[in-house]
């Protein structure tokens, strides 16, 4: 965790470029999940299995930013893939599912994120996912299959119904190539003919599906409540916090803010964001201040992990405490994460 104070950028913040992506393929995974394959014009960027990318989408005259994990393994195929669930009322995911066609072009920020298999410290792994949370874990498994097929991996995946299970066919194929890969499926709404686990994630179920869970290093992705349950069971089985890694797909309650500095003005600081002006109260993050005033800054995790809320700090200074969602290079270029930054003077920020 960093606790840097940043001053105005020393380099042209617009120099960090977006990738130009052409849709090379689209396939259904389930009735409401599709995998989109993209060919980056600049060639596939360097990334680690488990990282994510933020797409810049033009929808109905509005620019939306949405972050998606890369489901593909880093390789030399020349393409990258994202496995995306269409949310019934989701603006971006509905548009991607309904409007995006092969040959269309999009822009995206380079991959980033700390939720990567490269950060593992052991080779006895548990992958725990629910719903589209399987996506970054599939990238990890594909990468392990290509580079270390003997790795001891147990995967527990939870879905609503059997028809919602992602990657079932490929997992069966990978089991043939990875002798120590074990896969368990859990559905909350079983149907006749279902032979896997059913019900909710719980300690008793885990003790059967993953008997040595507490002794494994865990990579977990799914809804916040599911991940918290998985973490509690891991801890109860003797697992340590350092061996439990999570990726949040949606915003969760913000972490406790640092104490308000004694010299902060009671009225807060003035923030300029493009043609909008608002006030950041003492202790508030720039994202919280903008949201309170119904000004939209793109947001993914709200925890300083995903980088979706990256903005350029054009003027002024902030205190930033993040969780790896921004690289030292980006910080040096004058970028900050709005969800993790508190104003320390009047500031001007820009979306780039």
Ligand X SMILES: Cc1cc2nc3c(=O)[nH]c(=O)nc-3n(C[C@H](O)[C@H](O)[C@H](O)COP(=O)(O)OP(=O)(O)OC[C@H]3O[C@@H](n4cnc5c(N)ncnc54)[C@H](O)[C@@H]3O)c2cc1C
Q: Give me 104's structure tokens.
A: 């269309």
Q: Give me 152's structure tokens.
A: 């001891």
Q: Which is nearer to ligand FES, 103 or 328 (CB)?
A: 328
Question: Tokens 């949606």 sit at which residue?
Answer: 250
Residues between 82 and 101 with contacts to ligand X, criterion CB under 6 A: 82-85, 87, 89-93
196 binding partner (options ligand FES, ligand X, none; Cβ < 5 to 8 Å by kind): none
Residues between 322 and 351 with contacts to ligand FES, criterion CB under 6 A: 325, 337, 339
Counting contacts by CB under 6 A, is residue 308 touching ligand FES? yes
228 φ/ψ angles, rounded to the nearest 5 degrees: -65, -40
CB 308 within 8 A of CB 110: no
Number of residues interacting with ligand X: please give it, by CB under 6 A: 24
- Least distance CB 110 / ligand X (angstroms): 14
221 binding partner (options ligand FES, ligand X, none; Cβ < 5 to 8 Å by kind): none
Of the candidate spans 67-75, 152-160, 277-285, 335-343, the one that interacts with ligand X by CB under 6 A turns out to be 67-75
Q: Give me 242's structure tokens.
A: 């350092």
- Least distance CB 323 / ligand FES (angstroms): 8
Q: Which residue is at the shortest CB distance from ligand X? A: 90
Counting contacts by CB under 6 A, is residue 288 touching ligand X? no
Please give the span between the terminal C-alpha atoms of the chain, in angstroms, as a whole number: 24
Counting contacts by CB under 6 A, is residue 301 touching ligand X? yes
339 binding partner (options ligand X, ligand FES, none; Cβ < 5 to 8 Å by kind): ligand FES
Counting contacts by CB under 6 A, is residue 196 touching ligand X? no
Q: How far apart are CA 270 and CA 289, in angstroms?
A: 10
Counting contacts by CB under 6 A, is residue 302 touching ligand FES? yes
- Least distance CB 304 / ligand FES (angstroms): 5
- φ/ψ bin of 283: left (φ > 0), alpha (ψ from -120 to 50), beta (otherwise): left
Say if residue 190 is exposed, middle or buried (CB neighbours under 10 Å; 0-12, 13-18, 19+).
middle
Say if residue 93 is exposed, middle or buried (CB neighbours under 10 Å; 0-12, 13-18, 19+).
buried
Q: How far apart are CA 290 and CA 122, in angstroms?
A: 41
Give the one residue of 35, 129, 132, 317 binding ligand X; rule: CB under 6 A: 132
CB 194 within 8 A of CB 159: no
Q: Footprint of ligand X on this chain (CB under 6 A)?
A: 52, 66-69, 82-85, 87, 89-93, 132, 135, 247, 249-250, 300-301, 306, 308
Q: Footprint of ligand FES on this chain (CB under 6 A)?
A: 299-309, 325, 337, 339
């Amino acid at each position: 965790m960093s606790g840097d104070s940043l001053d105005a950028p020393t380099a042209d913040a617009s120099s960090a470029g977006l990738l130009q992506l052409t849709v090379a393929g689209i396939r259904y995974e389930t009735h409401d999940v599709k995998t989109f394959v993209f060919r980056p014009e600049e060639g596939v960027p360097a990334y680690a299995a488990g990282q994510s990318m933020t797409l810049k989408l033009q929808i109905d005259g509005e620019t939306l930013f949405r972050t998606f994990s890369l489901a593909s393994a880093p390789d030399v195929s020349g393409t990258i893939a994202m496995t995306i669930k269409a949310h019934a009322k989701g603006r971006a995911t509905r548009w991607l599912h309904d409007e995006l066609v092969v040959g269309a072009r999009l822009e995206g920020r380079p991959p980033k994120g700390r939720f990567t298999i490269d950060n593992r410290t052991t080779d006895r792994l548990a992958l725990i996912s629910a719903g589209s949370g399987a996506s970054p874990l599939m990238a990890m498994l594909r990468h392990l299959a290509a580079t270390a097929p003997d790795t001891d991996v147990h995967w527990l995946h939870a879905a609503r119904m059997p028809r919602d299970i992602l990657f079932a066919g490929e997992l069966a194929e990978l089991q043939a190539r990875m002798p120590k890969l074990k896969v368990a499926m859990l559905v909350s709404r079983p149907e006749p003919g279902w032979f896997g686990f059913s019900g909710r994630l719980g300690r008793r179920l885990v003790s059967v599906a993953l008997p040595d869970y507490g002794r494994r290093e865990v990579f977990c992705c799914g809804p916040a409540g599911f991940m918290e349950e998985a973490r509690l069971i891991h801890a109860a089985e003797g697992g340590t916090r350092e061996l439990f890694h999570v990726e949040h797909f949606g915003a969760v309650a913000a972490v406790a803010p640092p104490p308000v500095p004694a010299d902060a003005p009671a009225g807060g600081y003035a923030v300029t964001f493009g043609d909008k002006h608002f006030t950041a109260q003492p202790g508030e993050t720039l994202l919280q201040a903008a949201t309170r005033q119904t000004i939209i800054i793109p947001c993914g995790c709200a925890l300083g992990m995903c980088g979706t809320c990256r903005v350029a700090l054009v003027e002024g200074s902030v205190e930033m405490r993040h969780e790896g969602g921004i690289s030292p290079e980006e910080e040096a270029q004058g970028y900050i994460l709005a969800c993790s930054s508190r104003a320390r003077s009047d500031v001007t920020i820009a979306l780039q």
